[in-house]
Amino acid sequence: MFTNKSSEAELLCTQNTSFWSGLTSQRGAEEAAEYQLRTPCIYGYMNVSAAGQMPVMEELVSESDSMPKRIALICFLSLVMLMSVLGNLLVMVAVCKDRQLRKIKTNYFIVSLAFADLLVSVLVMPFGAIELVHQHWIYGETFCLVRTSLDVLLTTASILHLCCIALDRYYAICCQPLVYTCKMTPMRVALMIGGCWVIPTFISFLPIMQGWNSIGIDHLIEQRRHSEGSNSTSCVFMVNKPYALTCSVVAFYIPLVLMVLAYQRIYVTAQAHALQISILQRAGGAGASDSADNQRNHRMRTETKAAKILCIIMGCFCLCWAPFFITNVVDPFIDYTVPDQLWVACLWLGYINSMLNPILYAFLNRTFRRAFLTILCCGRKRYRRPSILGSGAACTATQINGSSHVLKIVVEDE
């Protein structure tokens, strides 16, 4: 249907070009320039090719229509990256400046988690946003592999940190204080954090840089990397079935099962503690045991609230990353027919989790919220936390070293 139009356009261009040349010699440059402005094919207003390409004016109109969408996309992506960077930096600074927060073993996992999320915001998101806005990859094939490896490394490290936090809370809430002290030694905490960073390298840089993830599907990757009829390229990350299963199981499904089991046990323990609180409140009474009962009640309340907060954090992570990992497993088994738009949506939904973690700490954890206010308000006294040892209650050695002390700082009663 485009052949006749193309022939007519070519004939019109030939006639107009001949006539324009005659004007140049007969009437001078001024009349030639005026006729040139009125001639459609010279300025491309009817630039119809034999291949049926869109006219230039229609392309310009299409670009102008998409400009508001592009601006909205840029604003949204910039907001996600900015909030993620500032939020995770705030978490790290809060723990570094607050001496009481540094005494809590759980917070070392939180700082390492914030560092991983910060690296996602700085090293992964910007390049993905640039590719998404410009619709092509401009940094070369090698850097595409590096960026993809960092993506897998940092997101896997993030979920492993959440798994370690769940295990730490399990020992703190479900075990006796002395058991927690013996299990979560500083050396063991350091080894767990180190494992959160080392283990992901075996499913990120090692297989991706060696090309193990693309064995058997290289031809499909090349087809998608170069768009048809265009010189533009994309940073394509396609994986074969063995890598998809291995990566997803190690990075998501095994840690998810461990977290579900840990929080299920924590939930059962919290319910038992709530029942004990109810019995003690109904019993009432007075005497020398009141102080011990109050301390025990406070411990149970703070333990229960800590479990709820960490469950919310884990739930947000699952909601953000489960769509991606489900798609990652399913796609190789349906001949890679998942639409690119769905991939991009699932991927950026996962990136949003790096922005959510600091928000969850600020709104759900009073200790972190107070530390944030102290930093943002330049250390004004009204936002400083009074010393726990300044209260009238005496602290025993068990309370200082055990779970009661840990959870008292992690979550305070509202």
Q: Is residue 124 part of a domain?
A: yes
| 252 and 395, same domain (yes or no) | yes
Instruction: Name which residue leads in pLDDT, 354 or 31.
Output: 354
| 148 and 195, same domain (yes or no) | yes
Q: Is residue 26 part of a domain?
A: yes
Distance CA 111, CA 94 (A): 9
Other beta carbons within 10 Å of 60: 11
Residue 284, pLDDT > 70, answer no
Residue 66, pLDDT > 50, answer yes
pLDDT at 290: 62
For residue 271, what are its two tokens?
Answer: 């319910």
Mean of the pLDDT values across residues 20-48?
A: 46
Task: Return the SS3 of 137.
Answer: coil
Instruction: Name which residue leads in pLDDT, 352 or 227.
Output: 352
Distance CA 158, CA 257 (A): 16
| 14 and 114, same domain (yes or no) | no
User: For residue 252, what is the enclosing H or E element?
Assistant: none
Domains held by the chain: number? 2
pLDDT at 202: 95
Question: Which amino acid, residue 197?
Answer: W
Q: Is residue 49 part of a domain?
A: no
User: pLDDT band at residue 296, thresholds of 50, 70 and 90?
Assistant: low
For residue 120, what are its two tokens?
Answer: 């996602």
**What is the residue-averaged pLDDT of the chain?**
76
Please write the tens of the pLDDT for every residue from 237-252. Answer: 999 999 999 999 999 9
Residue 113, pLDDT > 80, answer yes
pLDDT at 254: 95
pLDDT at 400: 32
| 134 and 178, same domain (yes or no) | yes
Q: Which residue blocks in 44-139 are alpha helix, DSSP H?
A: 56-97, 99-102, 105-119, 125-134
Number of H helices, E strands in the chain: 19, 0
pLDDT at 411: 43
Range of the domain at 329: 69-283+292-410
For residue 67, what are its two tokens?
Answer: 């400009």
pLDDT at 103: 87
| 104 and 164, same domain (yes or no) | yes
pLDDT at 366: 80
| 29 and 112, same domain (yes or no) | no
Return the CATH number at 138: 1.20.1070.10
| 15 and 111, same domain (yes or no) | no
| 249 and 393, same domain (yes or no) | yes
| 135 and 15, same domain (yes or no) | no
Q: Is residue 9 part of a domain?
A: yes
Residue 268, pLDDT > 60, answer yes
Mean of the pLDDT values across residues 187-193?
A: 95
| 221 and 181, same domain (yes or no) | yes
Instruction: Name which residue leads in pLDDT, 5 or 104.
Output: 104
Distance CA 325, CA 320 (A): 10
Cβ neighbours for 251, distance < 8 A, ≥ 6 positions apart:
152, 155, 156, 159, 200, 203, 325
Instruction: Name which residue leads in pLDDT, 204 or 23.
Output: 204
Q: Is residue 59 part of a domain?
A: no
Q: Considering only 39-53, 94-108, 324-338, which range has the smallest mean pLDDT? A: 39-53
Please, are residues 10 and 17 in contact by the beta-carbon 8 Å criterion? Answer: no
Task: Provide the sign of the torsion angle of the four alpha carbons 32, 34, 38, 44, taken in this order.
Answer: positive
For residue 257, what are its two tokens?
Answer: 């099962």
Q: Is residue 135 part of a domain?
A: yes
Q: Is residue 52 part of a domain?
A: no
pTM attached to this predicted model:
0.73
Cβ neighbours for 302, distance < 8 A, ≥ 6 positions apart:
407, 408, 410, 411, 412, 413
| 89 and 215, same domain (yes or no) | yes
Distance CA 153, CA 251 (A): 9
Please write the tens of the pLDDT for every residue from 136-167. Answer: 898 988 999 999 999 999 999 999 998 998 89
pLDDT at 174: 86
| 351 and 275, same domain (yes or no) | yes
Q: Is residue 61 part of a domain?
A: no
User: pLDDT band at residue 123, thresholds of 50, 70 and 90?
Assistant: very high
For residue 330, what are its two tokens?
Answer: 């399913």
pLDDT at 310: 67
